[in-house]
Amino acid sequence: MDDFFNDSFFNDNLTYNNNYRFYKTDDGYSLDMLVPGFNKENLSVELDDNKIFIKGETKYEDNTLMSELCNSFISKKFIIPHDVDTSKIDADVTDGVLSIKLPFTKKSKKKVIKLV
């Protein structure tokens, strides 16, 4: 019977399989990812070459006797396109959604040349 409660179903940790949307805009790319329960204090976005690492952790360490809250973990990696200006990447988290803006480099912006 003890093995029954040691099953991962009863574990007090949760790893999110985050839903995300990666799309192209006129100015670059955007990445929106659902991160419920996370905020700027417990979420990090790191850039390493052409990779973005998103990591986060929530911990509930108090004297709670009963709770339906659990510790949560996020760990996700994205490879970003080569036409992104990495010095201008911007990220924000609002209402449980992490938004990352990945602007194009100047040379990769599309320009229409008018024929004369």
Which tens digits make up the pLDDT trace of 13-60? 555 566 899 999 999 999 999 998 899 999 999 999 899 999 998 887
Q: Which bin fits 41, alpha (ψ -120 to 50), beta or left (φ > 0)? A: alpha
pTM reported for the whole predicted model: 0.74
Q: Which CATH class is domain 12-108?
A: mainly beta
Work out whether the CA dihedral 12, 15, 17, 20 comes out positive or negative: positive
The domain segmentation of the chain, as residue ranges, is 12-108
Closest among 45, 42, 66, 63 to 54, alpha carbons compared: 45
**Using 50, 70 and 90 to split pLDDT, how confident is the model at 86?**
very high
